[in-house]
Structure 1
Amino acid sequence: MKKENHTLVNEFVFQGFSSLHEYKLMLFFVFLILYLLTLVGNVIIVTIISIDHHLHTPMYFFLSMLSTSETVYTLVIVPQMLSSLIGLSQPISLAGCATQMFFFITLAINNCFLLTAMGYDRYVAICNPLRYMVIMNKRVCAQLVLGAFSIGLLVAIIQIFSVFRLPFCDRQVAHYFCDILPVIKLSCVDTTLHDIINFIISSLVIVVPMALVFFSYILIISTILKIASAEGRKKAFATCASHLTVVIIHYGCASIAYLKPKSENTRDQDQLISVTYTVFTPLLNPLVYTLRNKEVKGALHRAIVKKLLA
């Protein structure tokens, strides 16, 4: 079915949290604090990993890449959301919307596959420890990071080309940023084919890396259970705990957001889910990897002591 209004538009306006008008100021300060914590936390992780030679290992190289990606990811989305909450949001052009969507898709998929690379790193470290540094050499690590980014880049190009070939008749985006589904809904034409393509792509970029990670952990757990000493098993589990925590929450949020039936949630529920993976999930890395990881906490302690004694 085509929409009745066929006046094509060349810019969009975000409706944002219009249904929560009375809570906008409170939401602004809550999201601002979380955003600043995310930026500071991820910058600290990247800085500590770069300056502490104890953390110059494949595991922390991937973590620094993930933190960098998450930092840029939030920069693409959260400032726009914050400005809309205090009434400073301006209309966004089609080119601006396409740019925001491009970076969002690229970095979101990049994060998914970086977590897969981290899962593979833990698999090699525990299941093949004697050859760990040979297998996970600098070239392989760089290739895995480049591969994750390339997949995100390729999917983003395909999605942007597909979505922005559509004619748009409505300028009111029922969201706080240019996500794929809310933008597609503004089209004048039937978008069933685009919805199917989007679901297939979302399934591949979420389910495939998630399956690879959990397959890695099946092998990891089976190896850990064969370790004779309780202390050895505990240490092996500890090296995976932080990563597994982030993986479960990250893929869980992504699955709920993009693999659920279209009509299952209301607009407010959709936005709540979106807030989870655009505001809360990026904060996971600094929280989980600083509060649960002894090596990162040790590096932070050494850096603070060194600064105080300087």
Structure 2
Amino acid sequence: MDHVNHTWTQAFILAGFTASETLRPIAFLGTLCVYLLTLAGNLFIIVLVKTDSGLSTPMYFFISVLSFLELWYVSTTVPTLLHTLLHGRSRISSSMCFTQLYVFHSLGMTECYLLGVMALDRYLAICRPLHYHALMSRQVQQWLAGATWLAGFSGAIVPATLTATLPYCLKEVAHYFCDLAPLMRLACVDPGWHAQVHGAVIGVATGCNFVLILGLYGGILRAVLKLPSAASRAKAFSTCSSHMTVVALFYASAFTVYVSSPGSRAEGTDKLIALVYALLTPFLNPIIYTLRNKEVKEAVRRVTDRIKTFWGGPL
């Protein structure tokens, strides 16, 4: 019990990235720009979906929920990344460290479930078009969105609690935020069974959802190939291409870090891969969902026209 109490009273040191004094300000400004653009891009999607009736469909509702999640997801880790880039090795209290660990994994698991729900939405829209609006009513949309958050924040309790109760002998975390594998490397005891539990919990969340998404897209592919014209097939595929790109980015990096054994990777690898799913993916999501998207472009034009009308003429 003394070990557990000690775990909660000590502080950790976030090592961050090793960079020269010359490169550190450049890395800081670059990261800050990406962070601000990520916030602006995801806020843009949320506001656009909320204000334009042309985007009041289940697909765009779930995209706006994903953007809302990404605002919190990127804000969980990037501030500590910016702090380490600006000041070098940084102290973080154990309570803040384990809170960050829990919130980060809660949001990550929520995104796993949400991507599965978004695949279900596309499956129903393409494979069950006559019943789509009845099956995906506003109430069902809200229930599914709420269920993803509940499942994500419930599932993360186990790995976060197990990690927090380990006795720690070392303080320096070889990362820019508190994550499972870098923290377990600091434990005084062999965390082997903890890693197995983490792999099982996170593996089920990511693996089951990934299998579900593959199954749903298998059904979509069969339905699309049966469509009579090439134009209708291209249109059906275009509504899924953005989601498939986001799924590929998110799951490729998540599987690499959390499903493989922590000991099978070099110590610095985790933080490099983390930049993909914790910073790059939230940054790219708004671009992926808006680039070459005719509906979004039309919505922007409508909103712009309303603003011009409100101000009484051209801006």
- The two structures have a TM-score, normalised by structure 1, of 0.93
Residue of structure 2 in register with 1:201 after alignment = 201
Residue of structure 2 in register with 1:60 after alignment = 60
Q: Deviations over 1:234-283 (max 9, x none)?
A: 11111111111111111111111212333443233221101111110111
Shifted more, 240-249 versus 253-262: the winner is 253-262
Answer yes or no: is 1:218 the counterpart of 2:223: no
Residue of structure 2 in register with 1:152 after alignment = 152
Shifted more, 144-153 versus 221-230: the winner is 144-153
Return the alpha-carbon distance in structure 2 between the equivalents of residues 21 and 272 of structure 1.
Answer: 20
Q: Match of 1:185, as an amino acid?
A: R
Q: Match of 1:27, as an amino acid?
A: A
Answer yes or no: is 1:235 the counterpart of 2:226: no
Shifted more, 21-30 versus 133-142: the winner is 21-30
8 Å CA contact 1:102–1:157 kept in 2: the answer is yes
8 Å CA contact 2:174–2:268 kept in 1: the answer is no
Describe the shift of the 1:281–1:137 C-alpha distance in structure 2 as closer, same or farther (beyond 3 A).
Answer: same
The 3-state SS of whatever aligns with 1:266 is coil
The 3-state SS of whatever aligns with 1:12 is strand
Return the alpha-carbon distance in structure 2 between the equivalents of residues 185 and 268 of structure 1.
Answer: 12
The 3-state SS of whatever aligns with 2:12 is strand
8 Å CA contact 1:112–1:205 kept in 2: the answer is yes
Residue of structure 2 in register with 1:33 after alignment = 33
Q: 1:92 deviation in Å?
A: 1.3
Residue of structure 1 in register with 2:258 after alignment = 258
The 3-state SS of whatever aligns with 1:92 is strand
The 3-state SS of whatever aligns with 1:86 is helix
Q: 1:202 deviation in Å?
A: 2.0
Answer yes or no: is 1:120 the counterpart of 2:141: no
Residue of structure 2 in register with 1:3 after alignment = none
Q: 1:292 deviation in Å?
A: 3.0
8 Å CA contact 2:48–2:299 kept in 1: the answer is yes
Q: 1:35 deviation in Å?
A: 0.7
Q: 1:89 deviation in Å?
A: 6.5
Shifted more, 11-20 versus 218-227: the winner is 11-20
Return the alpha-carbon distance in structure 1 between the equivalents of residues 90 and 234 of structure 2.
Answer: 53
Residue of structure 2 in register with 1:106 after alignment = 106
Residue of structure 2 in register with 1:49 after alignment = 49
Shifted more, 83-92 versus 192-201: the winner is 83-92
The 3-state SS of whatever aligns with 1:28 is helix
Q: 1:23 deviation in Å?
A: 2.8
Q: Match of 2:266, as an amino acid?
A: T
Residue of structure 2 in register with 1:4 after alignment = none
Return the alpha-carbon distance in structure 2 between the equivalents of residues 14 and 35 of structure 1.
Answer: 20
8 Å CA contact 1:80–1:89 kept in 2: the answer is no
- The alignment covers a number of residue pairs equal to 304
Gaps of 5+ in 2: 1-5
- The two structures have a TM-score, normalised by structure 2, of 0.92
The 3-state SS of whatever aligns with 2:13 is strand
Q: 1:19 deviation in Å?
A: 5.7
Percent of residue pairs bearing the same amino acid type: 37
Q: 1:304 deviation in Å?
A: 2.3
Describe the shift of the 1:19–1:28 C-alpha distance in structure 2 as closer, same or farther (beyond 3 A).
Answer: closer
8 Å CA contact 2:15–2:88 kept in 1: the answer is no
Residue of structure 1 in register with 2:3 after alignment = none
Q: 1:306 deviation in Å?
A: 2.4
Residue of structure 1 in register with 2:294 after alignment = 294
* Cα RMSD (Å): 1.6
8 Å CA contact 1:242–1:292 kept in 2: the answer is no
Residue of structure 1 in register with 2:77 after alignment = 77
Q: Match of 1:210, as an amino acid?
A: F
Describe the shift of the 1:123–1:20 C-alpha distance in structure 2 as closer, same or farther (beyond 3 A).
Answer: farther
Describe the shift of the 1:79–1:89 C-alpha distance in structure 2 as closer, same or farther (beyond 3 A).
Answer: farther
Q: Deviations over 1:130-157 (max 9, x none)?
A: 0000000122212211221111111221
Q: Match of 1:159, as an amino acid?
A: P
Return the alpha-carbon distance in structure 2 between the equivalents of residues 126 and 213 of structure 1.
Answer: 14
Q: 1:26 deviation in Å?
A: 2.1
Gaps of 5+ in 1: 1-6
Residue of structure 2 in register with 1:12 after alignment = 12
Q: Match of 2:188, as an amino acid?
A: C
Q: Deviations over 1:89-129 (max 9, x none)?
A: 64211111111111101111111111110000000000000
Return the alpha-carbon distance in structure 2 between the equivalents of residues 20 and 177 of structure 1.
Answer: 20
Alignment of 1:274-289 (within 5 A): 274-289=274-289
